[in-house]
Amino acid sequence: MAGELSARDIERAKFAFSIYDFEGGDTVDAFYLGDVLRALNLSPTQKLVEKLGGTKKRNEKKLKVDEFLPIYGQAKKDKDVGNIEDFTEILKLYDKSGDGKMALAELSHILQSLGERLDKDEAEEILKDCCEPEDEDGFIEYKPFLKKLMAGPYPDDA
């Protein structure tokens, strides 16, 4: 499976791996598996990370680079990443008036209560970073929000 990764992929994977190799022993704590994969521009669910070998606590398992690369290859295959149309469709449900806006509080609530929940600080951070400030009715435009989110934190970069 590592054979499906290009040389460039492998190099980037090794770099990300090395950043999380805190002990200098060429191993990464499986607790950080999700972080490493996401740093490589994948967006696995927490469930998938667990399935691939991620742990919920530190110091339970360590991964070596040769173990990691196949996991990376596997995670890359997960095509169900959603595109902006999917997102938009979904959030339209909350758009009462059809004007491209939804209640900020509602979005915040969704993120904190459904699915693989974010906690309050995380929800606040993401909304602060990706949303325009809410208007006087507490509404925000969700399309720009989604665009910004999907562009990632440093869109000017390779």
- Quick check: 133 binds another protein (CB under 8 A)? no
Q: What is the distance between the terminal CA atoms of the chain, rounded to a whole angstrom?
A: 25
Window 69-98: contact mask with another protein (x via CB under 8 A): ------------xx---xx-xxx-xx-x--
Give the one residue of 3, 6, 25, 133 binding another protein; rule: CB under 8 A: 25
62 contacts 28 by C-beta, under 8 angstroms: yes
Q: Name residue 8's amino acid.
A: R
Give the one residue of 73, 110, 143, 147 binding another protein; rule: CB under 8 A: 110
- Quick check: 115 binds another protein (CB under 8 A)? yes
Give the one residue of 2, 10, 65, 150 binding another protein; rule: CB under 8 A: 150
d(CA 12, CA 5): 10
Q: Which residue has the tokens 């006087």?
A: 136
**Size of interface with another protein, in residues (CB under 8 A):** 66
- Quick check: 129 binds another protein (CB under 8 A)? yes
* Part of the chain binding another protein (CB under 8 A), chosen from 46-54, 60-68, 69-77, 132-140: 46-54
Alpha helices in 3-158 (DSSP H): 7-19, 33-39, 46-52, 65-76, 84-92, 104-113, 120-130, 142-151
d(CA 55, CA 99): 43
d(CA 103, CA 116): 21
Catalog residues that contact another protein under the rule CB under 8 A: 11-12, 15-16, 18-20, 22-25, 31-39, 41-46, 49, 54, 56, 58, 81-82, 86-87, 89-91, 93-94, 96, 103, 106, 109-119, 121-122, 125-126, 128-129, 149-150, 152-154, 157-158
